[in-house]
Amino acid sequence: MHAPANPFNVRKSSSRTVENVAFGLFRAATYFILACATFIFGFIFVKGGETVFRAHFPFVNVPFLTQSPETLYVFEYEGKKMELGDKEFRAFKENHGLKELPAESFAHSAGGIFPCIVGTVLLVIGSMAIALFIGVSAAIYLSEYSKHGPFVRFVRLAILNLAGVPSIVFGLFGLGLFVVFMPVLQSFHNPAVLSLPVGFGHYLNFSGWNVCLLSGWFTLAFMALPVVIIASEESLKAVPMGFREGSLALGATKWQAIRTNVLPYALPGMITSSILSIARVAGETAPIMFTAAYIVRDKMPWQVEHPLDFLFQGVMALPYHIYVVSSKLPQNEYTERVQYGTAFVFLVIVMGIALTSILLRIRMRSRHRW
């Protein structure tokens, strides 16, 4: 006698086979993506690490992280091959009494990337602050106050469409609106542009903010807005209605209920949107090329006479620096090490900002549970 078949055993069927094959394809696709990402990031970290790190103390290439970009001069002197930056090369000729010294020059291949690091950090922090303020406010209105109708559906559709706009279009938008047209309060009338008198001898001249931090902040913030609004709205919807109803039943106003019983529990999800937006904002080249970045600028943004002038200073940025060094200059071993070193530092900065957001999100989730 044969033992009775176990009715709980999985039976073979064509649908089960198709499911297993599909599952295997999905797993293979996932591993393939992870392998590609590992190879790309690993290659950058290996090549960039050769520029950023040293085999001797202090084990870090401090000049690369603390100096401004310079032209590299390569020459032979007394049978030795020497590589000096622009300042060191001039000092070398002066100290040795040499008026002329034949040398090959390589732009942006000496010095460091400190102005680029400063500019990138300022652009990311400023744009994310603006995007979070506007995006969270819009999400609160759409989720808590707006009445579902054709207008709100149109707004949501516009937000989704905005997420698919290419970065170059945002760059042209920022160039036209913020760099060229935005009003500036001045003490003189500029007949070349539209001007409006505001009294006390001052005029609003629509001459634009020019290429500066403020133009870059708003342009990048508008790029990040769709992600921030959508993620923040979903976080607000995830908070149970009972939290709102309990506050309203105790006599709280709607805003008090949202501020005390909804936002604290939705904030971790909103911070997640900031993490996603960092990846969208930090690596963009086209928008900052039109609105905020310079190829070379040794002056730091805070080196100004009036504090408000800080907002109207142009900066260097790591993505734009990589673009210039890799595509606008003749390629050689010296530009290659700058490219990979800059990419290495850029990835570390983005990871650091994202990690900070993740830790903040974990801390907030541990404090607010339901």
Answer yes or no: is pLDDT of 49 > 60. yes
Per-residue pLDDT at 3: 63
Residue 254: inside a domain: yes
Q: Give residue-wise pLDDT tens across range 6-29.
A: 666 666 677 788 888 999 999 999
Residue 43: inside a domain: no
Q: Are residues 163 and 104 in the same domain?
A: no
Per-residue pLDDT at 218: 93
Per-residue pLDDT at 34: 95
Per-residue pLDDT at 10: 60
Answer yes or no: is pLDDT of 358 > 90. no
Residue 172: closest CA among 223, 118, 107? 223
Judge residue 192's burial from the number of C-beta atoms within 10 Å of its C-beta, 0-12 exposed, 13-18 middle, 19 or more buried.
exposed
| Residue at 117: amino acid letter | I
Per-residue pLDDT at 299: 83
Q: Are residues 178 and 134 in the same domain?
A: yes
| Residue 98: domain span | 69-111
Count of domains for the chain: 2
In the structure, what pLDDT confidence band is assigned to residue 4 with cuts at 50, 70 and 90?
A: low
Share of the chain above pLDDT 70, in %: 95
In the structure, what pLDDT confidence band is assigned to residue 368 with cuts at 50, 70 and 90?
A: low
Per-residue pLDDT at 275: 75
Residue 33: inside a domain: no
Per-residue pLDDT at 37: 92
In the structure, what pLDDT confidence band is assigned to residue 114 with cuts at 50, 70 and 90?
A: very high
In the structure, what pLDDT confidence band is assigned to residue 219 with cuts at 50, 70 and 90?
A: very high
Residue 32: inside a domain: no
Per-residue pLDDT at 345: 92
What is the average per-residue pLDDT within 280-300?
85
Q: Are residues 85 and 149 in the same domain?
A: no
Answer yes or no: is pLDDT of 300 > 90. no
Q: How many other C-beta atoms are found inside a 10 Å radius of the C-beta of residue 203?
A: 20
What is the average per-residue pLDDT within 100-116?
87
Of residues 291 and 271, more confidence is placed in 291
Per-residue pLDDT at 370: 62
Q: Are residues 240 and 329 in the same domain?
A: yes
Q: Among residues 88, 111, 134, which one ends one of the domains?
A: 111
Q: Among residues 78, 111, 144, which one ends one of the domains?
A: 111
Q: Are residues 80 and 118 in the same domain?
A: no
Answer yes or no: is pLDDT of 216 > 90. yes
CATH number for the domain harbouring residue 328? 1.10.3720.10
Q: Are residues 247 and 350 in the same domain?
A: yes
Share of the chain above pLDDT 90, in %: 22
Q: Are residues 190 and 77 in the same domain?
A: no
Q: Are residues 216 and 355 in the same domain?
A: yes
Residue 321: inside a domain: yes
Rounded CA separation 175/291 (Å): 6
Q: Give residue-wise pLDDT tens across range 312-351.
A: 888 999 999 998 888 888 888 888 899 999 999 999 988 8
Q: Are residues 93 and 133 in the same domain?
A: no
Residue 23: inside a domain: no
Q: Are residues 213 and 143 in the same domain?
A: yes
Q: Give residue-wise pLDDT tens across range 227-237.
A: 889 888 888 88
Q: Among residues 58, 92, 111, which one ends one of the domains?
A: 111
What backbone phi and psi angles, to 5 degrees, belong to 108? 60, 25
Q: Are residues 96 and 217 in the same domain?
A: no
Residue 164: inside a domain: yes
Per-residue pLDDT at 105: 87
Residue 115: closest CA among 64, 60, 52, 68? 68
Q: Are residues 80 and 174 in the same domain?
A: no
pTM, 2 dp: 0.85
> Any bridge partners for residue 185, and if so which?
204
